[in-house]
């Protein structure tokens, strides 16, 4: 099979082609696993963190990609949840132990044995992949393969982030950074919380214009103060300055949710401008989002199908994965990038 493989950690500024196109044997499903012929795989900012070593995969080479959609082509021993030909998706959660206190209480995203797709096991930047059947998700009929792919991470983690803000209808929500996840949150909010207005902070004009097109009530650069103080903000940027700016834009009792798996080091010094009175006092809160649960993924897929949520996507061939990643690094973003691997 064709696959795009990460062999070594490097900086994308120096190495524009971090993934290598290779031919590999089709994997064989283990017990309770399904073999999936991948048709589409979303490209996520987390891949940049893996490639550049902020969150290196424990073993190399590895096939990245954790928003894979395809069809079951073979059931391993004991696997019986899906028929051959059925359409499934694989998200960031590749497996969790199922036994620990976290798993038992529904917080499998925090399991100490959490394994991530495309980091701890081969993912969807390939023609085939395997996963435990219990960690594959049925894809609702309303969604095409390429539309469903970005819902598996950008959408599901956006859904989790939004839930963690504690939003209620009418709350003023800020989104700092406007990539794949934030654009889906905006669409979700307009449906689920119609009285809420959304304020978008984004570095590039392209992202700001796109946000207004999708119904944000205001869009400004990351450094600008919002015209009103906000109840909650979701930060999806890789930087630190937006964290300070966001805290400044919060009302008393407001909450900032950081939806980023890693932050970059470049502007870490801006944290020194943190002022307790302006940024933290008055019971402001900061919370991070870590991973997703299977429940997040399944609830979100159902919601997306129910409200005909259509992500804005840009398609790339599997061989062009390096170009898609370079554009993501340069923040040439309009919606979600998806590798189209088969029809």
Q: Closer CB to Zn ion, residue 117 or residue 196? A: 117
Residues of the shown chain interacting with Zn ion in the complex, contacts defined by CB under 5 A: 44, 46, 96-97, 100, 103, 111, 153
Q: Is residue 19 helix, strand or coil?
A: strand
Distance CA 125, CA 339 (A): 8
Q: How far is the CB of 99 from Zn ion (least distance, A)?
A: 6
Q: Closer CB to Zn ion, residue 114 or residue 210? A: 114
Residue 85 vs residues 5, 66, 100, 149, 167: alpha-carbon distances, Å? 26, 20, 34, 17, 39
Q: How far is the CB of 113 from Zn ion (least distance, A)?
A: 5
Distance CA 46, CA 43 (A): 9
Q: Closer CB to Zn ion, residue 96 or residue 226? A: 96
Residue 254 vs residues 125, 164, 218: alpha-carbon distances, Å? 39, 12, 19
Q: How far is the CB of 261 from Zn ion (least distance, A)?
A: 8
Q: How far is the CB of 112 from Zn ion (least distance, A)?
A: 7
Q: Closer CB to Zn ion, residue 26 or residue 100? A: 100
Q: How far is the CB of 311 from Zn ion (least distance, A)?
A: 13
Using the structure block, give the residue that is written with the tokens 């909650």: 232
Class of residue 323 by CB neighbours under 10 A (exposed 0-12, middle 13-18, buried 19+): middle
Distance CA 304, CA 146 (A): 14
Q: Is residue 8 helix, strand or coil?
A: coil
Q: Closer CB to Zn ion, residue 77 or residue 101? A: 101
């Amino acid at each position: 099979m064709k696959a795009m493989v990460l062999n070594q950690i490097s900086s994308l500024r120096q190495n524009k082609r971090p993934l290598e196109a290779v031919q590999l044997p089709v994997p064989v499903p283990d017990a309770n696993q399904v073999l999936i012929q991948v048709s589409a795989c979303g490209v996520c900012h987390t891949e940049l963190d893996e490639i550049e070593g902020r969150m290196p995969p424990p073993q190399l080479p590895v096939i990245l990609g954790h928003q894979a959609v395809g069809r079951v082509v073979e059931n391993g021993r004991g696997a019986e949840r899906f028929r051959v030909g059925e359409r499934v998706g694989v998200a960031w959660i590749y497996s969790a132990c199922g036994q620990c206190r976290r798993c038992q209480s529904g917080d499998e995203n925090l399991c100490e044995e959490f394994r991530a797709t495309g980091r701890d096991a081969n993912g969807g930047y390939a023609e085939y992949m395997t996963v435990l059947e219990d960690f594959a998700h049925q894809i609702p009929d309303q969604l095409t393969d390429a539309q469903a792919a970005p819902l598996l991470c950008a959408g599901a983690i956006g859904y989790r982030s939004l839930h963690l803000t504690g939003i209620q209808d009418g709350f003023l929500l800020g989104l700092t950074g406007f990539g794949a996840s934030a654009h889906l949150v905006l669409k979700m909010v307009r449906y689920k919380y119609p009285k809420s207005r959304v304020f978008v902070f984004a570095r590039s004009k392209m992202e700001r214009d796109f946000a207004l097109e999708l119904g944000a009530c205001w869009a400004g650069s990351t450094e600008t103060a919002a015209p009103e103080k906000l109840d909650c903000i979701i930060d999806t940027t890789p930087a630190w300055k937006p964290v300070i700016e966001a805290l400044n834009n919060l009302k008393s009792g407001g909450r900032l949710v950081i939806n980023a798996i890693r932050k970059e080091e470049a502007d870490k010094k801006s944290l020194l401008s943190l002022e307790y009175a302006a940024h933290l006092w008055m019971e402001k809160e900061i919370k991070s989002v870590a991973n997703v649960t299977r429940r997040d993924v399944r609830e979100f897929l159902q919601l997306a199908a129910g409200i005909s949520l259509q992500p804005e996507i840009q398609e790339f061939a599997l061989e062009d994965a390096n170009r898609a990643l370079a554009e993501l690094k340069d923040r040439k973003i309009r919606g979600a990038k998806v590798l189209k691997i088969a029809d």
